Structure formats: C-alpha cells, structure tokens
Structure 1
C-alpha cells in the first residue's frame, strides 16, 4: 500500500547538510552493524537474521521516503522510528531460537520489548517539536508498531506462552488491510481517536508480557485473550463507523 504524501514541512534541518535519504542510508548501515554485533552477543554466534530483516525494512522505508518525503531533513523522529525498527528486528532471534526466551535471557528480551514500546511515544513528540509531523512519519510509526506486534506474537507462539490464536493479536491490522482490498470503503480515512492509540499500547504491552519467563498458560492465555477481545472491539467500532459513512 502506498503511503500518503506529506505537505512540505518548514523546520530547522535536524540532520545536517545530508539529504533525508542519505541520512537514512547512513543510519541504517550503522544500525545494521550494531544488530550484527548484538545478535552475536545474545545468541553466542553469528546470526544474520535480525540484520537482514532490518535491512529489508529499512530498504522499503528508504524507497518510500524517496518518493513521498519532501522535508529537507530526515528528522530525529524518523531516525528514532528507524531505531525502533532495528530493536524490533532483534526479536527475530528468539523467533528462530525459542530457548532465548528462558531464564535471564528471557527477562532481557522482556525488558527490551518494554523499552521498545516506551520509545513509541517519543518519536511523535519529537516530530511535533521539530515541525516535521505529517502523514508519512505517522504511517512509518504505525507500520513499525504493526511489525513489532506481529514479531512479539510469533515469539509468544514459539515459546509456548500462548497458542496459535495469539497470531491474531499481532496480525489483526494486516487482516483489516487485506479486507480493505475486497471492500474499498474500509480504506477510507478514520478520525483521530485516543481509544485507538490506547488499545495499541495495551496490545503491545500484553504481547511483551507474554515474553516474560513467568508467563505460562493458563494465565498467559487469559491475558492474551483479554487483549485480543479489546483489540477486536476497537476494530469493530471503526468498521461500524466506516460502514455508516460509505
């Protein structure tokens, strides 16, 4: 799905004299190298999966940035969102090796998930403060949230914290986007609602909680199912709102 075009923001250049794409490319290269080192440290040997996953995501972001971003700088907000994408890519490690969710390493990934979630509120604040807030940055932030949630759900499944149903908790937005292909009225713009943001935070927080080594069925199942019910309710509210205005 193509991303909406931002109106040219007027703000102080936060990334120096480099173009936004050059800034993103340099930052992506540095983050990819950091991921290679962190993966080696966490897994005990060379694991290319996080670096490759991040590289693919950064490449897509760079392509769309080149097409749709018109500001003179990348901005700290988009740089932080790219950093959150790199942190999300680290969860490809426990996805490939579920044993990493046990013991001290499991608590480490749990804390990493909470830290990544906490950063989610910072990039929006940075965008507004710098005058670079706009549709592209908001969409980039939302896509990183969606990828992060899906990875957490997949790790929760692989670790045995929840059954296959947990993938719905991480992929419901993608199902909504797919449904919009069949029913285009679902793709109409939605009004801003705090309820939607709150549910998203709760969704990812519960998914992060499922990574804690103490999260085992049936308690983990109950927490996940409650979060899924809340997420389904939020989507149902939006679908009904769109249906009445088609």
Structure 2
C-alpha cells in the first residue's frame, strides 16, 4: 500500500496579512509620488487604505471557528486592490471639493479602473478555488461578501464624482444599499434569516460592479454612463425589494 501524502498545510493568515500590508505600503508610496494633491489629502488616502485592509486582516487573524484557506488568500489579495482603490478616492475628490475642477481628471478615472478591475474579476475566482479545494466555509463566504461590498461602495463614490456631484448623489445608493440593509436589521430582527438562492440576486450583484467600472472609463460618454448606472441601481432596488418582501412574508408565517 503506497504511503499517503500528508495534507498540504493551509496558508497562514498572519503571514498573508503582513505581505498584504507590505504590498499596500509600496502602492501608497507610488500614489504619493504620482499624485499632485495636498498633504492632508494624502493623509486621508493612507488612513482610508489602512482602515480597509486593517479590517480585512483583522477578521482573518481573529477567525477561530473555521480555517483560513486558499480562497481566503485570494480574497486578501483582492482586499489590497480594494484598499488602493480607496486610497485613490481623496486624490480625485480633492480638486472637486476645492473647486479647482468640476470633475476629476481622466487619468484618475483610468487609475481607479485599472486597480478595481482585477479586484472585481478575482471575485469569481475565490469561490471556485474554495469549492475545488474543499475549503469552502461560511466565514470565507462572509469575508468575500464584505470585500465585495467595500469595492462597490468605493466604485459608487468614484462614479458619482465622475458624473458630477452633488447631482449624482444617487449613485452612492448602489454602494450604500447593503449597509442600509444591515442597519434595517436592527429594527427588523425577523429579517435575520438565510435568503433562498436567487439567480436574479446573483446576476444583479455581478452587474453592479461591471456597470460602475464601465461608467468610470473616460471613453464612455457621460449620458451613457448615467443611463447605465441608473438601470443598474433600479435592478438593485428590485433585488433588495424582492428579498425584503420574502423576509416579511416568511416572518409573518412563522410568527
């Protein structure tokens, strides 16, 4: 009987966290060298990036109930890209808030697009890795979902800035929807139950990131970007509305 191979050791959450902060530090140094903004804006950039990545790394290091696996490693890599995207927000917002320009520079839009695109694409990979390696966990799924939500919020802010604030404030609803739902859970504890599988929900969630990324591309005319983003928001409102109706009906039947 041939000897069995010992199981491959799982990746280290602490080791990946340290590497993630090193990568973020290098990226922030590049942002500081390339961006022509004030020192306060750069400080805000660093604080945003460190806050985003720090929350991600903390959640992986403190996880005790389920193991940290290969898919989580991909999600941590994604979180570095999300943190860099967050760091870019003050760079684009500063000229607008200081009334130096009505909209951010095209170079900034391309920069956010270039950093956020791989973070969005990798979203479809970590789940497959978890299933193929047999390391899928509920904690990993929640971890991935929170990184997705952070990316959508960052992209919605970036698109709102490109489309023109304050008129494009409604774009922020795309990124805020999940957090508003979490706040609503405090008032409606009966909503705290697993939702059934929904192809519409999954498709709509995937559309949001793609539309927001497209709306950031300077080659896309602003009217088209506005129309596409409005349609994406409408689909998202319908998706959340369907889930709320299901939760309410289910809660009444169980009460």
- Structure 1 regions of 5+ residues with no counterpart? 1-10
CA contact (8 A) 2:45 2:91 kept: no
Does residue 163 (structure 1) correspond to residue 133 (structure 2)? The answer is no
Q: Secondary structure at the match of 2:135?
A: coil
CA contact (8 A) 1:91 1:155 kept: no
In structure 2, what is the Cα distance between the partners aligned to 1:106 and 1:151? 12
Partner in structure 2 of residue 38 of structure 1: 30
Change (3 A) 1:229 1:69: same
Deviation larger for 141-150 or 27-36? 27-36
Partner in structure 2 of residue 3 of structure 1: none
TM-score by length of 2: 0.79
Does residue 235 (structure 1) correspond to residue 235 (structure 2)? The answer is no
State the structure with bigger RCO (CA 8 A, min sep 6), 1 or 2: 1
Partner in structure 2 of residue 13 of structure 1: 9
Deviation larger for 37-46 or 210-219? 37-46
CA contact (8 A) 2:45 2:88 kept: no
Change (3 A) 1:177 1:33: same
TM-score by length of 1: 0.82
1:131-142 alignment, distance < 5 Å: 131-142=134-145
1:48, distance to aligned residue in structure 2 (A): 5.0
CA contact (8 A) 1:102 1:213 kept: no
Does residue 147 (structure 1) correspond to residue 150 (structure 2)? The answer is yes
In structure 1, what is the Cα distance between the partners aligned to 2:198 and 2:107? 38
In structure 2, what is the Cα distance between the partners aligned to 1:97 and 1:104? 11
**Alpha carbon RMSD of aligned pairs, Å?**
2.5
1:176, distance to aligned residue in structure 2 (A): 0.8
Provide the aligned length of Structure 1 versus Structure 2.
231
CA radius of gyration, larger in:
2
